[in-house]
Amino acid sequence: MDPIAALSRAVLLVGALASVATLFALARPGGRWGVRLRRRFVLGVPWGTLLTVALVAAVYLFVQGGWSQWYRPLVVPFRAWSYFYPLGMLTAGLAHSGPGHLMGNLFGTLVFGTLAEYAWSHFPTRRGSESFVSLRTNPFARILAVPVAAALLSVTTGLFALGPVIGFSGVVFAFAGFALVRYPVAAVVLLAAGDLVGLLYRSWLTPVVSASGSVGYSTPWWSGIAIQGHAVGVFTGFVLAVLLFRARDELPSPGKVWLGAVAYAAAQGLWAVYLFEGGDSYVLYRAAGLGLVFLLAAVVTAAATASRRDLVAAIDLSRREAAVGLLVAVLLALSLAAVPYNLLTVDDVAPEEGSVEVRDYTVFYAEGVTDQYVAAYDLPFYEASNVTTSGLVVASDRRQVWWTAASRGQIAFAGRGGVRIGGLGWRDTVVAERAGWTVVGNRTVYTVHLRHDGETTFAYASDPSRAEPTVAGRNVSFVARDTGFSVRVTDGGTTLGRAAVPTNNSSVRVGGLTLRRNGTRLFAERNGTSVRVGTRERYD
């Protein structure tokens, strides 16, 4: 064991324990905290939240294969692809794309699920009511109601989220929305506490981190957010909380609800409204998104705290009824927006050659093809039919899957990109590998091959590219082929000769030029003149 890492963990443990001990010494709760928890929880423990965490973790470990492949779970078959693929719709809200995704949602569940369960309570809250009088007042039934509600909400978020979503975050947002209406200040405080829990986990796991400046491939952080799914989750929590706590007459002041809603929505990125433009390009509507956050706060505050005074006396419509109706209408509008996309069916557009078939999946590499999900419907301000994608694509007619698993940019940066495919009880992997030449003064020439089960399939070759330098009036062009790379020497529009790119530290005479390869570089030479025309592509 690294002694510095061990010492760092010891410092973390001692510091945390000393800090908590200091808090207890100064606050002197004298058992008050425990009494308060036991008034709401059986034995003072949020059992429903813990059962929910166990359910989500079990799906990752045993359904997605995380037990044996912690960092490489099976993802594709468990996304919410279409209403015509029930398995994905039922599992998407409980499955996750990786350990970071899982742990983030588990921490969020522990924090906001506990507060929501505290607001719900294992015991009846109405004055004079008793436990075990009915199923509704049975503490054990009320405990089980939490994971059951979470499971139902996970299915709901899968059914009404836009696109092939995956993850429990919609339910976490529902927990948070539920808690915000009842305990807005505590919810905002716990938002920071949730970040602290995640930091503690990461600090214990990797107590010492060595880092240096490096070049990497990344997309905007907000491009991976299922913003509509999160909004559906938080509004579902708002609606459930308003209905429950209005009936109990347990609601805070309007100022607290408004402040809590704005702070939470802003901190959790609900303002990140964006559109996909194809490839790796996105457009973020930050100002409009933040404006929607303020409107969100206004709607939930009105629904939670508006009075019973008449708004439209002629139809006996009170302010409270109108506000709650508006809140429900927003939730319905957000949810129904996903229905047309979830009714889509995909077409088989895989090339006749150059693809890999694995059971009902087809994996292929393509560039400039129409994205079958994004391009389904045009909007007045967004011509989705013009959106194209490039990269490693996985498709399945039976599962209604069509997904760019690794973009062209990702593969160009790393030299490879893969996709894990499978179903209940089985999994497989297809990898795309790129090789290419960076042509001086022009675009790169490259090929892509697919590797699966020990076999290699040629998938793609880019167009030829001519190097900018001229030697004795001649130009050198690079040509990608299924068997490798060749060069073509031209003079004006006349081709003088062709040859395969020479191997390392060798040369070839073609079209009056000598092409000499020195490691990763290729030079064109004639009468003592030597210029570099290309460099073998390198990957990070």
Measure the CA angle with vertex 210, ends 207 and 216; round to 5°.
120
pLDDT at residue 348 in the model: 63
**Same domain assignment for residues 238 and 268:** yes
CA-nearest of 501, 527, 536 to 515 is 501
Name the residue with higher pLDDT: 7 or 381: 7
Last residue of a domain, one of 461, 480, 505: 461
In angstroms, the CA 465 to CA 444 distance is 7
531's enclosing H/E stretch is: strand 529-536
Query: What is the 3 state secondary structure string of 152-169?
Result: HHHHHHHHHCCCCCCCCH
3-state helix, strand and coil shares in percent for the chain, rounded to the nearest 5: 45, 25, 30
11 domain residue, yes or no: no
Mean pLDDT of 49-75: 95
Average pLDDT, the chain: 89
| Domain of residue 102, residue span | 31-208+218-342
119 domain residue, yes or no: yes
The percent of residues above 70 in pLDDT, for the chain, comes to 96
pLDDT at 180 over 80: yes
**Same domain assignment for residues 316 and 452:** no
Q: Residue holding tokens 């900018």? A: 468
**Same domain assignment for residues 452 and 475:** no
**Same domain assignment for residues 305 and 385:** no
pLDDT at 252 over 70: yes
pLDDT at residue 6 in the model: 85
Band the pLDDT of 16: cuts 50, 70, 90.
confident
User: Structurally, how many domains does the chain consist of?
Assistant: 3
pLDDT at residue 65 in the model: 94
Measure the CA angle with vertex 498, ends 494 and 500; round to 5°.
155
**Per-residue pLDDT reduced to its tens digit, 158-174:** 999 988 899 999 999 99
CA distances from 282 to 28, 91, 310, 380, 426 (A): 53, 28, 45, 18, 35
pLDDT at residue 9 in the model: 87
Query: What is the 3 state secondary structure string of 107-141?
Result: HHHHHHHHHHHHHHCCCCCCCCCCCCCCHHHCHHH
Asked which of 191-195, 213-217, 230-234, 269-273 is least confident by mean pLDDT, the reply is 213-217
3 domain residue, yes or no: no
pLDDT at residue 251 in the model: 81
Tell me the two tokens of residue 289: 């998104």
Band the pLDDT of 83: cuts 50, 70, 90.
very high
pLDDT at 507 over 90: yes
Last residue of a domain, one of 275, 307, 342: 342
Mean pLDDT of 494-520: 92
In angstroms, the CA 356 to CA 369 distance is 18
301's enclosing H/E stretch is: helix 286-305
**Same domain assignment for residues 225 and 177:** yes
pLDDT at residue 215 in the model: 66
21 domain residue, yes or no: no
Q: Label residue 301 exposed, middle or buried (CB < 10 Å: 0-12, 13-18, 19+).
A: buried
6 domain residue, yes or no: no
In angstroms, the CA 79 to CA 68 distance is 20
pLDDT at 416 over 80: yes
In angstroms, the CA 261 to CA 298 distance is 9
**Same domain assignment for residues 127 and 55:** yes
pLDDT at residue 393 in the model: 94
**Same domain assignment for residues 284 and 379:** no
Q: Label residue 11 exposed, middle or buried (CB < 10 Å: 0-12, 13-18, 19+).
A: exposed
Mean pLDDT of 440-460: 95
In angstroms, the CA 114 to CA 197 distance is 14
Q: Residue holding tokens 């429950």? A: 244
Non-local CB neighbours of 144 within 8 Å, separated by 6+ positions: 48, 51
5 domain residue, yes or no: no
Tell me the two tokens of residue 153: 């909400």
**Per-residue pLDDT reduced to its tens digit, 320-343:** 888 889 999 999 999 998 898 888
User: What is the DSSP code string of 187-224?
Assistant: HHHHHHHHHHHHHHHHHHHSS-------------GGGG
274's enclosing H/E stretch is: strand 274-278
Tell me the two tokens of residue 159: 């059914």
Does residue 399 contact residue 81 with C-beta atoms inside 8 Å?
yes
The percent of residues above 90 in pLDDT, for the chain, comes to 60
Band the pLDDT of 381: cuts 50, 70, 90.
low
**Same domain assignment for residues 192 and 332:** yes
264's enclosing H/E stretch is: helix 254-267
Pairing verdict, β 513-518 and 388-396: unpaired
**Same domain assignment for residues 230 and 334:** yes
First to last CA, the chain: 30
147's enclosing H/E stretch is: helix 139-160
pLDDT at 1 over 70: no
Q: What long-range pairs does 272-277 form, CB within 8 A, spacing at least 24?
A: 272/222, 272/225, 272/227, 273/227, 274/220, 274/222, 274/223, 274/227, 275/382, 276/223, 276/371, 276/374, 276/387, 277/387
347 domain residue, yes or no: no
Last residue of a domain, one of 342, 374, 395: 342
**Same domain assignment for residues 436 and 497:** no
Non-local CB neighbours of 162 within 8 Å, separated by 6+ positions: 226, 228, 229, 337, 338, 341
In angstroms, the CA 506 to CA 522 distance is 10
Non-local CB neighbours of 196 within 8 Å, separated by 6+ positions: none
**Same domain assignment for residues 375 and 499:** no
**Per-residue pLDDT reduced to its tens digit, 105-130:** 999 999 999 999 999 999 887 776 77
Beta bridge partners of 471: 474
Name the residue with higher pLDDT: 418 or 277: 418
pLDDT at residue 216 in the model: 64
**Same domain assignment for residues 175 and 301:** yes
pLDDT at residue 384 in the model: 64
15 domain residue, yes or no: no
pLDDT at residue 312 in the model: 75
pLDDT at residue 383 in the model: 65
In angstroms, the CA 47 to CA 114 distance is 9
pLDDT at residue 386 in the model: 73
Q: What are phi and psi of 360, to 5 degrees?
A: -90, 0
